[in-house]
Chains A and B, each alone.
Chain A
Amino acid sequence: MSGVYPGFDEVIHPQPRLSIMALLAAADWAEFGFIRDSVGLSDSALSKHLSTLEQAAYVTIRKTNTGRRRTTDLRLTRQGRAAFDAHVSALQALIAAARTPPEGEPPPGS
């Protein structure tokens, strides 16, 4: 089995960033605290991953002050959503390719 999987994104693939992107892909927007609690990261670790995703233009971060409360809302950009979808397709392609035995080789188990 060989071949490159188009859409595979090294920025997205590391586990914490994949989880962050997956949460944001399922949401219109999400609060920083929700992502932090769901993924189980510290504030600083999440900030670091978000900076990487923001630099890649995958995530927008909006900070608002409502009274004494400061909230940070996160959402995927259109580019981020497209990159995530492409990455998911690449993962699915990788699994599908593994199911198909290479030409000339007997299927596994035979």
Chain B
Amino acid sequence: MVTKAWKWSGNAAAESTHRRIHLDYDLPTRKDVVYFPLRKVVATRGTTVGSTDTEDARRALEDIAARRRQVDAANAAPLPWWYLVGTAAGLWAIGASQDFSTSASIMAAGLVLFIATNTGLERSRRVRSRARIPGVWLVAAGAIGVLLVVDIGVLIAARLAHAPRPNTIAGAAMALTFVALAVCIQRITRARLRVGRG
């Protein structure tokens, strides 16, 4: 009986360690090529034990590590420009709405833009990594805090300076701060993932 064993990589190097045997079966015309393991067979699964199989296992583990890096890289991809622009515009509209007589509709438009870009970002994702960056919620809460401080701070300053449309100025400051924070957080996240991957 001939044991038919498959190899993980299936490449020429791996095959070279196997004796290639041509067998004439009682089949009509063709010959069947069987790869026959030279080494000891473990159980009945065709898993051979020896240097070739160690190499096989090593390659498999390397592939697994590479796939993990692929997932992490996909998750750390730069934020799309439309997300940054859309969310910043939404924040600006929400902040600026109080300066206009049609404040409700401007605020509603800002909210719709904000939600739409965030939903769009979520839908554009093709994979979600299981890697969890420690303290990510703390960073998110901190970012929201910074946005509020900037908004309120600029608003107070603009009012004290008797600037026209202080809410618009504060909204714009908040939107710009959002873009800066998003880019910074993205870079930090990527660096931490890189460190995590070793």
Contacts and interface: CB of A to CB of B under 8 A. Distances in A.
B85 interface: no
Nearest to A15: B8
B47 A29 contact: no
Contacts of A110: none
Contacts, number: 94
Interface string A1-45: 111110010100111001100110111111101100010000000
Contact of A34 (B54, B68, B126): B126
Given A13-B8, A14-B8, A15-B9, A26 B68 contact: yes
A2 B8 CA distance: 20
A64 to B, nearest CB: 10
Contacts of A25: 64, 67-68, 130
Contacts of B42: 2-5
A92 interface: yes
A22 B64 contact: yes
A38 B131 CA distance: 18
Contacts of A83: none
B61 to A, nearest CB: 5
A100 B57 CA distance: 16
A33 B8 contact: no
A98 interface: yes
Nearest to B70: A38
B61 A95 contact: yes
Interface string B103-146: 00000000000000000000100111111000000000000000
Contacts of B64: 18, 22, 25, 88
A38 B45 CA distance: 29
A2 B42 CA distance: 7
A18 B45 CA distance: 17
A28 B130 contact: yes
Interface in B8-38: 8-10
Contacts of B99: none
B148 interface: no
A8 B45 contact: yes
Contacts of B10: 15
A13 B60 contact: yes
Nearest to A20: B67
Contact of A30 (B8, B40, B127): B127
Given A15-B9, A27-B128, A92 B61 contact: yes
Interface of B: 6, 8-10, 40, 42-43, 45, 47, 49-51, 53-54, 57-58, 60-61, 63-64, 67-68, 70-72, 74, 123, 126-131
5 contacts: A1-B49, A25-B67, A26-B130, A29-B128, A38-B67
Given A23-B67, A88-B64, 8 more contacts: A10-B45, A22-B68, A26-B71, A26-B130, A28-B129, A34-B127, A92-B61, A94-B57
